[in-house]
Chain A
Amino acid sequence: MEAGRPRDRDQELTDLFLNHYDPLRRLAYVILGDASLAEEITMEAFAKALSKWRLVSRADYPHAYLRQIVVNLCRSKIRRKTVERKFGGLFEREADEATHTDIEDHGVNLDVWNAVRRLPQRQRTCIVLRYLEDLSEPDIAALLNVPVGTVKSQLSRGRKKLAGSLGRDVLEAES
């Protein structure tokens, strides 16, 4: 049997989606820059999490659990993109233009975002987790399962590249 009565569980599920779906797809979107892909990955994260419902329902902080899945899926997706471009396929997804159009007017924010998106995958992920999710370096290291020193170096390199793209003020803002 699942934890809780059906109606309790239904409410728990509703709360889980209401509380975490948007923040998680926002994170995926900022990392990936693809709205549909972000939603796909977030859905997939929920699907994975619900497969371990007992674990998730009893977690003190389910968002962290879901966020780790989302980040891992994003990293996998980025790694796979090269392969997908190379081989293509019969069922190709149409380009997601609407959201990009929606945000074209946001000027400086878009400049920053575009610069972040040009970063290598590991630097980008660290930058997004640091600045969008407000995670500490040790928390990022734990989430990515890498040493803290690796996170520090990735953040440092990422900030330098952003500074090169956006100007020295980016570096100063962090220091």
Chain B
Amino acid sequence: MSDERKDIGRALKSIGDDYIEARPADIVAVRAGVDRYRRRRGRLAAGGAVLATGTTALLVYFATTLGAPDGTLPPADGPGLAIVEEHRVVGSPLQVAAKQDVAWVTRLADGVISRIEVGASSPSWERDVGTIPADIQATGDGLWIADRATNQIVQIDPETGARLQAWQLQGPPGRITVGEKAIRTTVDGIGVVRIDRATDEQRTIYEGSVIDIAMGQTAFWVMDERGRIAAIDPDSGDPVDGLERFTVIGDGEITYLREALYYGIEGNRMLLRIDEATATVTDRIQLPEAYQDIDADSNGLWVLVRDGRLGRLAELDPATGAVLDRSLDLVDDPVDIVTGEDGVWVALASGGKVVLVR
């Protein structure tokens, strides 16, 4: 019997080292993955219960991002889409919000936000707002940031970057929606908290480990870590009559667009469309590659899919959910999209840039 067999430690180290050598890590991609994981599933800090379902998307993210060879995405042959602007930002952009002809970009590793105007050659400002942004939303009167570092919702002046107002929460916020009268945010360990913008009153309108929220036309939608989706009144939190709570598989993300709720899990090729009026799944949309993000504007319904570090922005038929030919291949880790007045903004994490597509 050899010495190696006697030495358990040496054998285990050898196996472990071989594994590391066989699957070299791209630290930039790993960091981006960790950050996106924290941002999109900000309830991680809530506790171990999230492990029951919360790991699926990340797991598939690895299968598609780190485990898949680059260059495997079939070429898009769709007409009519092109990158019309390219904006460099310092570091890795991860999330983008847009309003009219301006986009605001968060980046990995710090709380710096870049303001980018259409047609400008460089960001109009880059400000350290001192946050770990879990979510960012742009409205007419502010740029809203869910800050996990200080457990605050912070309102930023979208023009100057100055801090306008902040609301202290009892735990780390995750996803936010901002309306004229109220802000609603997920809070780790609590659920969904409604903040009255006039009185600053905070009220828990839904208790549980909430992963994502979406404001619909007739209800406020809440999804918990077990994939249970509920329709509640956005002010009282009461269940909406006639809309039974239902369950999807896993804890992906929900997005309300054009009178329908979309449910997708990063890394999976299926996108579910849910009719708001009946709270039933009406379409199971098969995507060409793994789901990454979805958004809509007056010109179209857009989905971002990806395979490894490559991605594709594709238009969906708003009536049927079918993937249309109009699409554009993207490189450098496209991680987030948002529609603006001038097109679709795409954050390219490893490319250090944000592009405008139309």
Q: Mark A residues whose CB is within 8 Å of B.
A: 1-2, 6-7, 9-10, 13-14, 17-18, 21-22, 25-27, 29-30, 35-41, 43-44, 46-48, 50-53, 72-73, 76-77, 80, 89-91, 93-94, 96, 98-99, 102-103, 106, 108-113, 116, 127-128, 130-132, 134, 162, 166-167, 169-170, 172-174
Contact = CB atoms under 8 A, between A and B. Distances in A.
B82 interface: no
B51 A76 contact: yes
A103 to B, nearest CB: 5
Contacts of A173: 6-8
A109 B4 contact: yes
Given A1-B149, A6-B111, A132 B59 contact: no
A170 B9 CA distance: 11
A112 B5 contact: yes
A60 to B, nearest CB: 22
B112 A6 contact: yes
Nearest to B57: A91
A22 B15 contact: no
A80 B52 contact: yes
Given A6-B111, A40-B59, A89 B249 contact: yes
B110 interface: yes
B279 interface: no
Given A50-B34, A112-B5, A93 B22 contact: no
Given A6-B128, A9-B109, A39-B66, A51 B45 contact: yes
Interface string B25-42: 101001101100110000
Given A21-B30, A80-B52, A132 B19 contact: no
A2 B22 contact: no
A173 B8 CA distance: 8
B287 to A, nearest CB: 13
B344 interface: no
A137 B256 CA distance: 53
Question: Which 5 pairs across A and B sit closest by C-beta, in order of nearness?
Answer: A131-B9, A112-B11, A6-B110, A26-B16, A90-B249
A175 B5 CA distance: 15
Contact of B34 (A47, A73, A130, A131): A47
B27 A111 contact: no
B8 A43 contact: no
Contact of B27 (A21, A40, A44, A166): A21
Given A52-B45, A112-B12, A132-B12, 5 more contacts: A21-B27, A72-B48, A110-B15, A132-B13, A167-B1
Given A2-B132, A22-B20, A48 B63 contact: no
Nearest to B38: A47
A48 B8 contact: no
Taking each of A6, A13, A18, A72, which has the highest tally of chain B beta carbons within 10 Å of its own beta carbon?
A6
Contact of B8 (A46, A80, A102, A131): A131
A128 B16 CA distance: 11
A61 to B, nearest CB: 20
Contacts of B34: 43, 46-47, 50
A2 B55 contact: no
A35 B62 CA distance: 10
Taking each of B6, B130, B249, which has the highest tally of chain A beta carbons within 10 Å of its own beta carbon?
B6
Contacts of B6: 169-170, 172-173
Interface in B123-152: 128, 130, 132, 148-150
A112 B37 CA distance: 35
A18 B132 CA distance: 21
A88 to B, nearest CB: 10
A2 B249 contact: no
Given A2-B132, A17-B30, A102-B22, A131 B12 contact: yes
A51 B172 contact: yes
B38 A51 contact: yes
Contacts of B130: 1-2
Given A6-B111, A96-B67, A44 B58 contact: yes
A36 B27 contact: no
A99 B20 CA distance: 9
20 contacts: A2-B149, A6-B112, A21-B25, A22-B25, A29-B15, A35-B22, A39-B30, A41-B55, A44-B44, A47-B34, A47-B38, A51-B38, A90-B270, A93-B56, A108-B5, A108-B11, A110-B15, A112-B11, A116-B8, A132-B9
Contact of A94 (B4, B25, B63): B63
B5 A116 contact: no
Given A14-B27, A132-B13, A93 B63 contact: yes
A35 to B, nearest CB: 6
